[in-house]
Structure 1
Amino acid sequence: MDACTLGDLLDVIGGPSVRLHTAPAGLTAPVTEAVLYDAHAPLPQAPGALLLAVGVRAAAAGPLVRVVAEAGMTGLVVRGPDGPVGEAEAHGVALLSVDEDAAWHHVHLLLSSAIGARPGPSAGGLGDLFALADAVAAATGGATAVEDPRQRILAYSTVPGQPVDEDRRQGILGLQVPVSPANSEQYRALFAAAGPVRLPALREGDLPRLAVAVRAGGETLGSVWVVDDGTLAPDAEETLAQGASTAALLLLRARAAQELARHQNSDLLRRLLDGTADASTAAQRLGLDGGLRVAAFVLDAASLPDAEQTALRLLDVVRLQCEARYGRHACVLVDGVVYAVLPAPGAQPQGRAGVERSSARRPEGLSTVGRSTPAEAPRRRTDEHSHKRLAQDIVARAGQALRVPVRAALGEVVAGPAQTVRSREDAELVLRVLGPDLPVATVDEVRPRVTLLRLAEVLGERRELSAGPWRRVLAYDETHGTDYARTLVSWFDAGCDMAGAAKLLAVHPNTCRYRLKQAQQHVGIDLDDPDERLVLWLQLRTLAGLSGAIAAGVPRTP
């Protein structure tokens, strides 16, 4: 694994969590560990370390800068914004800060985890599992595979010359054990046993297996399987039991690394969505390549007693469905809204299976492992309609599972990660115009609605744009009990057709004509001027919230 640099660290946890104030040595300075400051103990010589200024106020941390420089450390981390920037620049020391209320033990854990568990070629510990599979295979004399509880193959041995059967070939080809009733029965026997068990061949031509469950603290983490052609070493069972203990440690470490990576990716995606992350770095770490669009999912409920927990469950549903469709995926929960970044047409995101297979070594006799098969390519391609179908499916599944209606909005397809903010803003606008009659929509489907929504905001913010005769029309109606505003909007909505406006208002055309003439006379508007008609229509539609559809009803007396 390459050494972690200050830039690497900030790419992962920079932003709201950790802020950089100065880096005189640049972002390529190495970061080796995070050290807690102890005023009653000598400072260790720790080149490349970050010193956490425990018990020292940020404004009083100047003397620590010189100590950090003398110890060969890369930087100092203070709590609060008023750190000694000048001293840090003078001594060539990086200065970082965390929030005032951040707990030092939490900051230490965050930094240490980020420094020590950066993504590497082994893909979260899987490389070590491959090495373990080779070691077990060499010691027992049989081809070995490591699986998770769902019978997915995580690693396999590549020791040459060891016999294999068709079950192993097919399992490695798809990284999944073939499903069969006989297989299920063997797994039940395996997970019920306290140690290694010998299992017979399932069909003619296959070989028996020696297998053991991998457990930690009573939890089943997976299993290790060895092909038994009758020539296994005499101590194969003991070796396999020892291998299972090592596998448990590796699987726990891989799980921790995956959880950390998910947390780091979530923070990075939040910053990409709000435009504060470097787009190229975020794209590389999140596996985003080419065009994309942002989908937003929200619970359609005014209030819930456990809204936060329900939103987290919604995140799980969205993530599961997106990963099933696209492989490794970027999803995050922000302020009650679940955002998912969907690959656009032609984009080829690096799927989870693709990562695992590309890092795996080629098994015996299987030259296609590690490459996409022709059948996989169409599944990775997406189109405009598939995004909406996915959103509709998620809304249906989530609503059923959570027993709460869910709405979904899809922003515009943008050219790349640098424009993610635009697609997110589109999706948020679409969320505001959705309702029970329209729970799922793309921005293009509701473009007129979101355009009017934004126009209403812009017009309302500017005095010169919100002024005009529309206010006089509403005030006259309020004072005299007339219905001029609704009549005007209905007439505009009907394309200035008197019969159409009368139909919307459920009145006689002559009544509509009379109201319009009276409105011009009493309020002082010129309906012969197309510009005045347009502005008045927009203001009544956006600022007053009126439309011909709403206008239909019991008319008031003109």
Structure 2
Amino acid sequence: MSSGPADGPPGDLTALAATVAALTGGRVTVQDDAGRTLVGPALTPAPDVRRRLRTGEEIVTTDDLHAIGVAEGGRPLGSIWVRTRPGADVAETLLGAARLAVPRFVDLYHRGDPAARAATREDLAHSLLTGRLNPASIAAHLGVDPDAAASVVAVDLRDPPNRPGREVRRAEAAEIVSVHAAALRGDALVTHACGQIYAMLPEKNTDPERTLSAWADRLVTALRAYTRTPVQAAVGGLAPDLSAIPEVKLRAHQILKIIAPDPARTVATHTSVRAGVVLLDVLDLLAQRPDVRHPALDDLAVHDREHGTELARSLRLYLDAFGDVGKAARALHVHPNTLRHRVRRAAELTGLDLDDPDERLVAMLQLRLLNTDPTGPAFPVPAPHRPSRRSIRT
């Protein structure tokens, strides 16, 4: 191993410094263990401050300057400094940054390629999240216990598809998630999947939901301020071991789908939307069985498309409101009498008996499957069902 870091600016540390600056609003300096400045404006700290930083993870504050040491196994690697307003709360950000900086300093001292190492670690984390490779072999590479429990938290930036710079913004957001996750769990893993960002957090707590919900809320607040988008997070729950992570990841993904129509909501947990998750599973099963349908309801949706009416959507909201005409009418922005007319018309055209609880339940499920309400939950939308020969006539 060489005696010092390689020449030239270390890209991974530069990116990390930019993230810390974004989170704290300060000017960031990264130094190696010899006090040489690697990133940011040069500093000449007092000798006693440098000695305190060599132990790692102690935050030293003097006036408007905050610093933390970076160390691995008792060996000092460097330090991270932030100059910001006096009294600023930067402890969590600095702690997470120091933990993330360890492998980046190690790569630097070995004169390796930091980008290649980071990509490999992220690829392994992605394989763990999606179940592409054996969890035990991935755990060995990552230094994680394969039998350890882990929580999964999913983050969606809710970035408009046509907004320029989405990929760059997501990469920057992933770095922010990584800093927050490392501050919470030193061995946290963060990766991308399905257009979202996922944090896997090893757990000793058997019921971490409340802690993670509060943590995710702070994370979303930071991301919303940075991205200017209605970021949302889902606490998917606890995987009892690493092999169960893909299942919990899917649950977190479902939770994000459920809360998507409510941008004011920052965080949801599996417990808070359990009924919605069950309903999604039921609708997924129904979507796989197109032969299990009430044909008249499919015909009703076809009628709406052909005639520009909203009978199916009106019926759905009426049933969702448990027959409360006033509530459903307000959701549709129509007069209650208009809604009553639409519901009667839908019943006439389909032959549904809305006094029959079984027919009401079937109608509620199938109308959700057809996604007749564009403002409702983003439930799965199957391929349009072909109308039967018995087309509805007006």
Q: How does 1:140-539 map to 2 (within 5 A)?
A: 149=31, 176=58, 178-180=60-62, 252-254=108-110, 256=112, 260-289=116-145, 290-302=148-160, 303-334=162-193, 336-346=195-205, 383-433=208-258, 434=260, 435-474=262-301, 485-486=312-313, 488-495=315-322, 497=323, 500-501=324-325, 504-505=328-329, 506-507=335-336, 512=340, 520-539=347-366
Between the aligned partners of 1:539 and 1:442, the Cα distance in structure 2 is 26
Amino acid at match of 1:273: L
Contact kept, 8 Å, 1:430 with 1:442, in 2: the verdict is: yes
Amino acid at match of 1:539: Q
Cα drift, residue 319 of structure 1 = 0.9
Between the aligned partners of 1:478 and 1:175, the Cα distance in structure 2 is 62
2:372 to 499, 522, 545: 545
Q: Relative contact order: is structure 1 or structure 2 higher (C-alpha 8 Å, sep ≥ 6)?
A: 2
Contact kept, 8 Å, 1:520 with 1:527, in 2: the verdict is: yes
Between the aligned partners of 2:114 and 2:366, the Cα distance in structure 1 is 53
Q: SS of 2:200's equivalent?
A: strand
Between the aligned partners of 1:296 and 1:462, the Cα distance in structure 2 is 29
Cα drift, residue 484 of structure 1 = 5.2
Q: SS of 2:221's equivalent?
A: helix
Q: What residue in structure 2 maps to residue 367 of structure 1?
A: none
Amino acid at match of 1:531: D
Q: SS of 1:423's equivalent?
A: helix
1:371-401 CA-partner distances (Å, limit 9, x unpaired): xxxxxxxxxxx82122222222222222323
Relative to structure 1, is the Cα distance of residues 529 and 152 closer, same or farther in structure 2, using a 3 angstrom cutoff? Answer: farther
Relative to structure 1, is the Cα distance of residues 296 and 255 closer, same or farther in structure 2, using a 3 angstrom cutoff? Answer: farther
Contact kept, 8 Å, 1:502 with 1:508, in 2: the verdict is: no
Cα drift, residue 415 of structure 1 = 0.9
Q: SS of 2:238's equivalent?
A: coil
Amino acid at match of 1:464: D
Between the aligned partners of 1:266 and 1:549, the Cα distance in structure 2 is 35
Between the aligned partners of 2:356 and 2:59, the Cα distance in structure 1 is 75
Between the aligned partners of 2:376 and 2:170, the Cα distance in structure 1 is 35
Contact kept, 8 Å, 2:209 with 2:237, in 1: the verdict is: no
Between the aligned partners of 2:115 and 2:184, the Cα distance in structure 1 is 21
Between the aligned partners of 1:417 and 1:261, the Cα distance in structure 2 is 22
Relative to structure 1, is the Cα distance of residues 301 and 530 closer, same or farther in structure 2, using a 3 angstrom cutoff? Answer: same
Cα drift, residue 418 of structure 1 = 0.4
Between the aligned partners of 2:159 and 2:307, the Cα distance in structure 1 is 40
Relative to structure 1, is the Cα distance of residues 417 and 507 closer, same or farther in structure 2, using a 3 angstrom cutoff? Answer: same
1:419-463 CA-partner distances (Å, limit 9, x unpaired): 110111122223333242224322333334444445444434422
Between the aligned partners of 1:440 and 1:310, the Cα distance in structure 2 is 20
Cα drift, residue 414 of structure 1 = 1.7
Q: SS of 2:316's equivalent?
A: helix
Between the aligned partners of 1:250 and 1:523, the Cα distance in structure 2 is 69
Q: SS of 2:112's equivalent?
A: helix
Relative to structure 1, is the Cα distance of residues 180 and 489 closer, same or farther in structure 2, using a 3 angstrom cutoff? Answer: closer
Relative to structure 1, is the Cα distance of residues 222 and 346 closer, same or farther in structure 2, using a 3 angstrom cutoff? Answer: closer
Contact kept, 8 Å, 1:308 with 1:336, in 2: the verdict is: no
Between the aligned partners of 1:152 and 1:533, the Cα distance in structure 2 is 73
Q: SS of 1:464's equivalent?
A: coil
Relative to structure 1, is the Cα distance of residues 431 and 549 closer, same or farther in structure 2, using a 3 angstrom cutoff? Answer: closer
**Identity between Structure 1 and Structure 2 (%):** 27
Q: How does 1:106-125 map to 2 (within 5 A)?
A: none
Cα drift, residue 412 of structure 1 = 2.6
Contact kept, 8 Å, 1:456 with 1:543, in 2: the verdict is: no
Between the aligned partners of 1:288 and 1:429, the Cα distance in structure 2 is 27
Between the aligned partners of 1:467 and 1:461, the Cα distance in structure 2 is 15
Amino acid at match of 1:421: P
Between the aligned partners of 2:106 and 2:328, the Cα distance in structure 1 is 71
Q: SS of 2:188's equivalent?
A: coil
Q: SS of 1:256's equivalent?
A: coil
Larger gyration radius, structure 1 or structure 2? 1
1:192-251 CA-partner distances (Å, limit 9, x unpaired): xxxxxxxxxxxxxxxxxxxxxxxxxxxxx859xxxxxxxxxxxxxxxxxxxxxxxxx988
Between the aligned partners of 1:412 and 1:404, the Cα distance in structure 2 is 25
Contact kept, 8 Å, 2:209 with 2:269, in 1: the verdict is: no
Between the aligned partners of 1:401 and 1:465, the Cα distance in structure 2 is 46
Cα drift, residue 318 of structure 1 = 0.9
Contact kept, 8 Å, 2:233 with 2:256, in 1: the verdict is: yes
Q: What residue in structure 2 maps to residue 33 of structure 1?
A: none
TM-score by length of 1: 0.44
The unaligned stretches of length 5 or more in structure 1 are 1-124, 130-147, 154-164, 185-220, 224-248, 348-381, 551-557
TM-score by length of 2: 0.60
Amino acid at match of 1:149: Q
Q: What residue in structure 1 maps to residue 97 of structure 2?
A: none
Number of aligned positions between the proteins: 297
Between the aligned partners of 2:345 and 2:57, the Cα distance in structure 1 is 78
